[in-house]
Amino acid sequence: MQTTEHTTDLISRAQEHGDRIAIVEGDRQISYRELLDRSARIAAGLLDNRADLDEQRVAMLFPAGIDYASAQWGIWRAGGIAVPLNLGATLPEIEHVLTTAQVSNLVTAAPYRDKVQTLCAQLGIRVLDLAEMNSPSTPALPRLTADRRAMILFTSGTTSKPKGVVSTHGGIAAQIRSLVNAWGWRQDDRIPLFLPMHHIHGIVNIQSCALWCGARVRTFPAFDMQSILPGVAAREFTLFMAVPTIYVKLIEGINALDPDARKPVCEGFAGMRLMVSGSAALPVEIHRTWEGLTGQTLLERYGMTEIGMALSNPLQGERRPGAVGMPLPEVEIRLVTEQGEVIQAEDSPGEIQVRGPAVFKEYWNDPNATAKSFVDGWFRTGDMAVIEHGYFRIMGRLSVDIIKSGGYKLSALEIEDALLRHPGIAECAVVGVPDDTWGEAVAVAVVPKAGHSLELESLREWAGERMSRYKLPKLLQVVPKLPRNAMGKVTKPEVRRLFEI
Ligand code: MCA
Ligand code: AMP
């Protein structure tokens, strides 16, 4: 077995960063030295006199912050696989993750503990409160190898339920190295982190890259303009990374400020060394509006949970609106036609396929899904792109059943599956329709059961107990029947047309 120190690299690098401040959360802060000490104690608590967790799955439920980073490093240092949970998920969604990943322990703290206590008791999962995990001694911790599993993130494929994407320590380190090189991360960088911490945008692109470099992260429990803008105006940050919906909301928010308040905020953004957008397509109009407002040219990049970041506009050179640039360091990309031919020329669209050390290991406990997602060792992203004048441009997705809303990937099939349990719904079809704020909005066409009437608000209320907020339908059409083709299959493009104004 290979015995490199990839993620222990994150740890050994932290030793070099010593007393530098790693994370600032409200009025608390933690140095790299303290983060190492705290995570070692958490690891000791998890190990409970064993030598190694041997890839046991340990779920964690925290927003971005000192506890999150300490728990993640503690799980890793004990030899466990970290399974970060979505704070906004409903209990059925959390249950799916806990049971699919066969989680044995869950680390959390007040007030989040209350949400999962009963469920975990039912599932036989031990809940550990971080406040009580302060082992006085720190035993020798296991040696981690690059090929060991480190993390499982749940993401919707075109299957109805989200699948667990397994990344190794080596894969995560490769993702970090690639971005640190491409975007010139530095020790004196300071970045705000307000994204959910169950996806790589927050976990890898922001937190892990920063901690790798000895930089400083200021965390916020969620995106909230009132809390973030004062730091921007005070020139606290050198870097900023967000999804397009957040830039849309920032533009609205900044425009609503009076001129005296607006000026320092715009200057704060203008003074940053880099601002990045990703996780969904950044509309050209938002790119230009942001540049007009702040003078910052956003760098758009493209990635996916299974592969990390793959394509990026350059740090130096042209950042082209509507394009995602070129392959990142250590990432191999090819475009392939529907017939399986590799495209060599510009201007010919094909599916993006990816190879390289950052690509995930497998879908947890799902060898069939894993096998289907690779062809000749290349991962099939399901995204279509074209190369134009040297830059890749994303054209859309192969599957109509994948929706991107607010930066979250949603499975139309998963939402349909949940809605079909509604007592008044006979049939339904979910599609994503263009939306200025969310990129795509969830729209549902329903055929009611005889004697039932359906309204959007009550449907959202009912569904809100089963699905996270961002999955709830925003638009509803009640129809006598769903459009189908000659084979009887629902035709989603026609369903979409039902929502055209
Ligand atoms: C929330 N609402 C929505 C949506 N989300 N409505 C339609 N579509 C949505 N997607 C509604 C809520 O129901 C609520 O309505 C109101 O908006 C406010 O909800 P709230 O949750 O407070 O919204 P927010 O705080 O403004 O959140 C928007 C957000 C958040 C900040 C953009 O969604 C977010 O943090 N997204 C980032 C996701 C992310 O990190 N993705 C990266 C995945 P009402 O008021 O009526 O109740 S990783 C990835 O994609 C790859 C690897 C990559 O390339 O990065
Ligand atoms: P996820 O499965 O949550 O990791 O989402 C990954 C998906 O987000 C990709 O497969 C793309 O469809 C989409 N995506 C990420 N970045 C971009 C981008 N810059 N432009 C268009 N789509 C993007």
The length of the chain is 501
How far apart CA 125 and CA 122 sit, in angstroms, is: 8
Query: Which of 198, 380, 394, 411 is the best mutation target for the ligand 2 pocket, counting ligand atoms within 8 Å of the beta carbon and taking the most?
Result: 394
Q: What are the structure tokens assigned to 151, written together? A: 């993390």
pLDDT of residue 136: 83
How far apart CA 220 and CA 26 sit, in angstroms, is: 8
- Pocket flag, ligand 2, residue 312 (CB < 6 Å): no
How far apart CA 331 and CA 354 sit, in angstroms, is: 7
Ligand 1 atom 25: residue of nearest CA: 223
Nearest ligand 2 atom to alpha carbon 382: 10
> For the purposes of burial, counting CB atoms within 10 Å of the CB of 12, is it exposed (0-12), middle (13-18) or buried (19 or more)?
exposed
Q: What are the structure tokens assigned to 382, written together? A: 């399901």
How far apart CA 151 and CA 166 sit, in angstroms, is: 6
Residue in the structure block whose two tokens are 């491409």: 182
pLDDT of residue 6: 41
How far apart CA 320 and CA 298 sit, in angstroms, is: 9
Edge-to-edge order in the sheet of strand 149-155? 126-129, 105-108, 57-60, 81-84, 149-155, 163-168, 362-363
Residue in the structure block whose two tokens are 């000026």: 263
> Do 204 and 308 form a contact (C-beta atoms < 8 A)?
yes
Count H helices, E strands: the chain?
16, 26
pLDDT of residue 344: 85
Nearest ligand 1 atom to alpha carbon 301: 54
Prediction pTM value: 0.96
- Pocket flag, ligand 1, residue 421 (CB < 6 Å): no
188-229 pLDDT, tens digit per residue, is 999 999 999 999 999 999 999 999 999 999 999 999 999 999
- Pocket flag, ligand 2, residue 409 (CB < 6 Å): yes
Q: Is residue 13 helix, strand or coil?
A: helix
How far apart CA 290 and CA 262 sit, in angstroms, is: 13
Q: What are the structure tokens assigned to 207, written together? A: 């937190």
pLDDT of residue 180: 97
Q: How far is the CA of 302 from the centre of ligand 2 (A)?
A: 6
pLDDT of residue 2: 36
| Closest ligand, as measured to the CA of 86 | 1
Task: Tell me the domains of the chain and their CATH numbers.
Answer: 9-181 (3.40.50.12780), 402-497 (3.30.300.30)
Nearest ligand 1 atom to alpha carbon 474: 7
- Pocket flag, ligand 1, residue 301 (CB < 6 Å): no
- Pocket flag, ligand 2, residue 307 (CB < 6 Å): no
For residue 139, say if its preceding peptide bond is cis, omega within 30 degrees of 0. no
| pLDDT tens sequence for the chain (501 residues) | 333 334 447 988 999 999 999 999 999 999 999 999 999 999 999 999 999 999 999 999 999 999 999 999 999 999 999 999 999 999 999 999 999 999 999 999 999 999 999 999 999 999 999 999 988 888 899 988 999 999 999 998 766 789 999 999 999 999 999 999 999 999 999 999 999 999 999 999 999 999 999 999 999 999 999 999 999 999 999 999 999 999 999 999 999 999 999 999 999 999 999 999 999 999 999 999 999 999 999 999 999 999 999 999 999 999 999 999 999 999 999 999 999 999 989 999 999 999 999 999 999 999 999 999 999 999 999 999 999 999 999 999 999 999 999 999 999 999 999 999 999 999 999 999 999 999 999 999 999 999 999 999 999 999 999 999 999 999 999 999 999 999 999 999 999 999 987
**How many CB atoms are located within 10 Å of the residue 317 CB?**
9
pLDDT of residue 138: 81
pLDDT of residue 158: 67
> Which residues pair with residue 449 across a beta bridge?
none
**How many CB atoms are located within 10 Å of the residue 212 CB?**
20
Q: Is 369 left (phi over 0), alpha (psi -120 to 50) or beta?
A: alpha
pLDDT of residue 4: 36
Query: Which of 243, 276, 299, 304 is the best mutation target for the ligand 2 pocket, counting ligand atoms within 8 Å of the beta carbon and taking the most?
Result: 304
